[in-house]
C-alpha cells in the first residue's frame, strides 16, 4: 500500500510514541519539496530524514504531471466558500493520491471537504489519524484502540470526541 502525506500529518506523526507503525502499513509514502520546506523543528526533521534515508519517504518523481490537479484544487479552495484554505503542500498530497490512486494522509479540512463536495475528487481516499488507527487496529498492529487514541492525544494535542449529527 502507498500513501501521500502533508506537512501537518507528518509533524504530528513524528511526535507519536509509536511512529514506527507507519512503516508497518505502507510500502512507501510520497511527499514533495513543498512539505519538506515547511518542516523546521529538530524532532520532525530527524524523523523525516530517517524515513528518507530508509527509502520509505520518497520525493514524488513525476511532480510536473500534478500541476493541473494542484491548480484545480487551489482554484476551488479560493473560489468556493465551503472549502477551507488549501496551500500547495496539501494540494500536492491530494494530487499524488488522485494520480496514483493511493491514500492521502492529511487532516486538512480543505482536502476533506473538497473530496466530499467535488465528484471529480471523490475517488481520492483520505485518511486522518483516526482512519489510520482504525486500520492499525484491524490489522492487529495495536491492541487497544481507545488507549492508542489517548496516547496519540497526549503526544500530539488531538482530541477525538464522539458525536452524532443525524
Partner 1 sequence: MFSLRKDLAKKAGYKEKHILEDEFERSIRRKYADWNFIEKQPPRIKAALKYYIETGDLRLAQKIAKMNIEEFYELVKKAKIPIVIIREY
Per CB under 8 A, does 42 bind partner 1? no
CB 111 within 8 A of CB 103: no
Look-up of cell digits 487551489: 74
Per CB under 8 A, does 151 bind partner 1? no
Candidate ranges 3-11, 55-63, 66-74, 95-103; the one touching partner 1 (CB under 8 A): 3-11
* Cβ closest to partner 1, residue 94 vs residue 110: 110
CB 100 within 8 A of CB 2: yes
Sign for the pseudo-dihedral over CA of 137, 141, 146, 151: negative
**Which residue from 68, 130, 150, 154 is in contact with partner 1, where contact means CB under 8 A?**
130
Per CB under 8 A, does 19 bind partner 1? no
Per CB under 8 A, does 108 bind partner 1? yes
Give the CA angle between residues 143, 20, 56 to the nearest 5°.
135
**Can you tell me the distance from the alpha carbon of 66 to that of 60, in angstroms, rounded to the nearest whole number?**
10
Residues numbered 47 to 76 that lie near partner 1 (CB under 8 A) are none
Look-up of cell digits 489510520: 132
**Which residue from 95, 110, 127, 142 is in contact with partner 1, where contact means CB under 8 A?**
110
Per CB under 8 A, does 113 bind partner 1? yes
Amino acid at each position: 500500500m502507498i500513501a501521500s502525506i502533508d506537512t501537518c500529518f507528518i509533524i504530528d506523526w513524528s511526535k507519536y510514541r509509536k511512529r514506527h507503525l507507519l512503516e508497518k502499513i505502507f510500502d512507501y509514502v510520497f511527499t514533495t519539496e513543498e512539505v519538506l520546506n515547511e518542516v523546521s523543528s529538530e524532532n520532525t526533521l530527524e524523523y523525516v530524514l530517517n524515513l528518507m534515508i530508509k527509502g520509505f519517504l520518497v520525493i514524488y518523481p513525476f511532480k510536473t504531471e500534478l500541476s493541473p490537479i494542484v491548480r484545480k484544487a487551489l482554484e476551488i479552495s479560493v473560489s468556493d466558500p465551503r472549502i477551507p484554505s488549501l496551500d500547495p503542500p496539501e494540494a500536492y498530497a491530494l494530487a499524488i493520491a488522485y494520480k496514483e490512486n493511493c491514500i492521502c494522509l492529511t487532516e486538512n479540512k480543505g482536502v476533506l471537504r473538497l473530496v466530499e463536495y467535488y465528484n471529480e475528487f471523490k475517488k481520492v481516499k483520505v485518511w486522518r489519524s483516526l482512519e489510520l488507527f482504525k486500520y492499525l487496529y484491524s490489522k492487529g498492529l495495536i491492541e487497544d484502540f481507545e488507549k492508542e487514541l489517548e496516547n496519540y492525544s497526549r503526544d500530539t494535542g488531538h482530541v477525538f470526541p464522539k458525536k452524532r449529527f443525524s
